[in-house]
């Protein structure tokens, strides 16, 4: 599983409601590809209407498809200059104390 998230930042000319509706449409399209239950289990995203920003986790096949679909929809609906998208690698998860892998050989 990949450890990437995508952060979208839209210009002030794009209404937050339109961004959110476009995101929901991309999620619906992903449901058509993967099924509703798989999207419910594997999709992770967050929308901040006040900042006109959203984040989508692309760590699963479902997430990667939502990123692709949402990006395509956003370009067609708002234009290429209406937003910026940034790929961010997540920090590696830390092992909790006492749960280290101790293999003796």
Let me know if 59 is exposed, middle or buried by CB neighbors in 10 A (0-12, 13-18, 19+): middle
User: Distances from the Cα of 73 to the Cαs of 3, 24, 47, 83, 97, in angstroms?
Assistant: 24, 11, 16, 12, 44
Class of domain 4-89: alpha beta
Give residue-wise pLDDT tens across range 38-90: 999 999 999 999 999 999 999 999 999 999 999 999 999 999 999 999 999 76
CA 101 to chain centre: 31
pLDDT value of position 93:
58
55 exposure class (CB count in 10 Å sphere: 0-12, 13-18, 19+): middle
Query: pTM score, two decimals?
Result: 0.82
Residue 103 — very low, low, confident or very high, per pLDDT cuts 50/70/90? Answer: very low
- 39 — phi, psi (to 5°)? -65, -40
């Amino acid at each position: 599983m990949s450890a990437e998230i995508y952060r979208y930042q839209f210009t002030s000319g794009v209404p937050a409601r339109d961004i959110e509706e476009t995101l929901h449409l991309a999620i619906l399209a992903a449901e058509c590809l993967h099924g509703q239950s798989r999207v419910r289990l594997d999709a992770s995203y967050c929308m901040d209407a006040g900042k006109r920003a959203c984040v989508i986790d692309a760590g699963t096949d479902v997430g990667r498809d939502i990123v692709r679909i949402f990006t395509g929809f956003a370009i067609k609906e708002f234009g290429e200059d209406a937003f910026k998208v940034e790929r961010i690698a997540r920090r590696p998860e830390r092992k909790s104390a006492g749960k280290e892998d101790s293999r003796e050989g």
